[in-house]
Structure 1
């Protein structure tokens, strides 16, 4: 579970010279996931112990927020429009059809889902772990009316899925050094990267298209591919630990921490060079999203 004591919603700033403004904070709230449909309309999932878990919603770029409750322990959000969205949670997958006003348990099993992504109104993918360490994929092709669960691998540790389209996608898991790829919409998965270095973990992955992707690791490196994951190269990044990545075209944003600081860094050449764009010692960045 990702924890955060204080958060800045670093969502809609510019590229390098932007001013970053804290939009909402509560020292008792823990935020796990953020998703914006556009620059104004967004959602944040989290919880505030011992109160119920919640979804925050903004329609004005984070100036104001309204709250709705959700069951389970939310970990990942995905929306396809203003009304239609899903949330992966500890006890299943939740769905809203009214812009987050109400959330209903859409699919439930023994898997603790940690990442979800919808490609369109119909095609959705969620990944999670089922004790004692089996990585499962749940897939729907009818907007959540039915879900099909399949075993991907014997891995554990909050897996993350990044689908480039409804056929090509990737999975990483924070306690594993492997990258898995599918080319048939999740029906089969192949290992396209594996590192034998002890404790070498991959925490996040993001592809800007079917060819170009970045994966975040520990130890001051990222993994970069330009051939759809067939080959990967390690590149330096000024962070000891990478927690979140987002790529758009040749732009790449990465959050994480170094020695004595937490930061977001930016690259406009897909990882060859990096520029720090925000640093704050008191914040732990749990998710970033650009729209």
Structure 2
């Protein structure tokens, strides 16, 4: 058995054990890039990867992609300033709602950083002011995504985060990692935020050193619906040489422990165990 086959088998076995332990219904896509970086990634896990599901905050990756696409076309600047109005403030995750006073002028770059680093919900509304829902969906369609969409509402600047699939989220991340989703500079900007060690650590990055965490770009998405709790996480692991080495898109729904958004949720604990196994498969790259 080759080293690659051993890694494949090891990650698959850890995935199946953790999936069974956490319960719920999982839809996932995990691939390993060969050491030479040639060709398409090798599939490690393909578990109902085309299932259309609510992406929750993982969808903020798609929103950020649409904003940066508009920047790339010269129709928007990262330096453009927007006023942080009180009527836009949305609670939950993030930091803008903690200010207690509002009215700041903040750049689009600031908004995207808050949205991806600390999953700020108000930042989504700020993005809608510069790229309305319909335009976001048109950009995503033009990039070849058939199911990844936000859900428009009556106000064109507002939307729900909508649906995606594990495969499409994986493909978005693969193209981001290979700097083909957007211009190289725009890809690097988003990756720099997603890899920042001030971001999310409860899941895939939990059992890692700070140096190891800096080699992982990740975005969680957590909420609940009539099926139960959903705990998602998607991202990219990089080799020591800076090249993408592994892509993961983990979507789990119908879970218990609905109101636990912390590190002790069974699915988040599963992400942590799986994260260590995935990183061990690429740590020497």
Structure showing greater relative contact order (alpha-carbon pairs closer than 8 Å, 6 or more residues apart): 2
Between Structure 1 and Structure 2, the one with more helix by share is 2
Which structure dedicates a bigger proportion of its chain to strand?
Answer: 1
Band the TM-score falls in, shorter-chain normalisation: under 0.3
The TM-score, its normalising length taken from structure 2, stands at 0.25
TM-score (norm 1): 0.25
